[in-house]
Amino acid sequence: MSIVSDLELVSLTKRYGQTVAVDAISHHFRAGTYACLLGPSGCGKSSTLRMIAGHESVSDGSVVLAGRDVSHLPPAKRGTAMMFQNYALFPHLTVRDNVAFSLRMAGVDKPERHKRADEMLELVEMTQYAARKPDQLSGGQQQRVALARALITRPQVLLLDEPLSALDPFLRIRMRAELKRLQRELGISFIHVTHGQDEALALADDIIVMNNARIEQAGPAREVFSAPRTAFVARFMGGHNVLSLPQGQIALRSDAMSIAPAQGGRLDGKVSNIEYQGTHVALTAQVAGDQEITALLSDEAFFAAPTELGQVIGLNWSDQAAHPLSE
Ligand code: ADP
């Protein structure tokens, strides 16, 4: 439907007075990928997204889409579209007119804009609600309308700011699958801001982890999860222990740890917590240097040789499960 294009951020910077919200970040978003900007609140994700969209001015650096510097173009002229967190639907307009709004602004005639609005409503499975007003829709339905409204401009890049945060957990997982389906079908790039690592892992081809206004690590989702480069990424992505050794810090996958009798592993630890999680048991042990290590053991492995609180055990891992971390 659209021409797919790469998006490049070049030393992109945002300052609000003395605050540096985004500090000279550079990243190449490959065309047609689902990318998640992931990081804790305040790390600069939304500012980055808004600069890409053109809803926030660029303090320094540039946004380049399909080889064209769009940094100073108005939002509607960039080839991007944004779906807002609060959907921002017009309450007095019907669903169809909400979706067609930007075409009306662009002077597209009524039959044509209705035709295109109806196509978009079909895409998000909202055809039967075309004549309703937004307050006659559920949260999930309003979100579909907001999506259709953003997509009607045929953007090369769709920008989504915490699009699932207002939904209940059940709907969130359903809409997550829906977003992924839409991205695949349209073949355009989606850039999705979230602070949830599970959401990013479920959706993203590429994850860009941000911390303190900078990109901490970026790459394919599986690589960022399984080979974190910094302690921050290892902790934020979860599923890892960060262990300080005399030679430096390493990240250890919790699910790649095994336990052995005392002195039979690489390290000894004293069991400090045992948490039953159904398919797994999370066993935490206190090791030298007042550090804790969690081993995620299969239910079978744990109950074959159950341990008790306070017991000293050996902890083992394979070399592949350990990743040296940099500062
Ligand atoms: P995130 O989306 O990761 O939560 P933001 O991009 O919203 O982060 O914010 C990054 C930093 O910039 C924060 O310190 C925030 O307080 C600040 N900030 C964001 N918007 C503004 C603004 N309009 N004026 C002043 N400071 C802002």
Q: Is the CB of 16 under 6 A from ligand 1?
A: yes
Task: Report percent pLDDT > 70 for the chain.
Answer: 98
SS3 54: coil
Output the CA 18–ligand 1 centroid distance in Å. Answer: 12
Output the CA 278–ligand 1 centroid distance in Å. Answer: 40
The residue whose CA is least distant from atom 23 of ligand 1 is: 16
| Distance from C-alpha of 57 to C-alpha of 76, rounded to nearest angstrom | 14
The alpha helices in the chain, defined as continuous H runs, are: 45-53, 95-105, 110-123, 139-151, 169-186, 197-203, 221-226, 231-237, 299-304
Q: Are 316 and 259 in contact (CB under 8 A)?
A: yes
The residue whose CA is least distant from atom 25 of ligand 1 is: 16
Collect the ranges in the chain with pLDDT lower than 50.
1-3
Q: Is the CB of 39 under 6 A from ligand 1?
A: yes
Backbone CA torsion sign across 28, 48, 200, 7: negative
Sheet holding 248-253, edge to edge: 240-245, 248-253, 322-324
| Distance from C-alpha of 247 to C-alpha of 134, rounded to nearest angstrom | 59
pLDDT in tens, 232-290: 999 999 999 999 988 899 999 999 999 999 999 999 999 999 999 999 999 999 999 99
Residue 12 forms beta bridges with which residues? 25
Torsion of CA 144, 150, 153, 159, to 10 degrees: -130
Output the CA 168–ligand 1 centroid distance in Å. Answer: 25
Output the CA 145–ligand 1 centroid distance in Å. Answer: 27
Output the CA 59–ligand 1 centroid distance in Å. Answer: 14
Map out the domains of the chain as residue ranges: 7-226, 239-324
Atom of ligand 1 nearest to the CA of 195: 3
Within this chain, domains 7-226 and 239-324 share the same CATH topology: no
Selecting from 1.25.40.10, 3.40.50.300, 2.60.40.1120, 3.30.200.20, what CATH number does the domain 7-226 have?
Answer: 3.40.50.300
Q: Are 268 and 314 in contact (CB under 8 A)?
A: yes
Q: What does the block give as tokens for 103?
A: 């075409």
Q: Are 5 and 78 in contact (CB under 8 A)?
A: no
Q: Is the CB of 134 under 6 A from ligand 1?
A: no
Nearest CA-CA partner of 93 in 149, 175, 154, 159 = 149
Q: What does the block give as tokens for 217?
A: 């690590």
Q: Is the CB of 265 under 6 A from ligand 1?
A: no
User: Is it true that domain 239-324 has CATH number 3.40.50.2300?
Assistant: no
| Distance from C-alpha of 46 to C-alpha of 194, rounded to nearest angstrom | 9
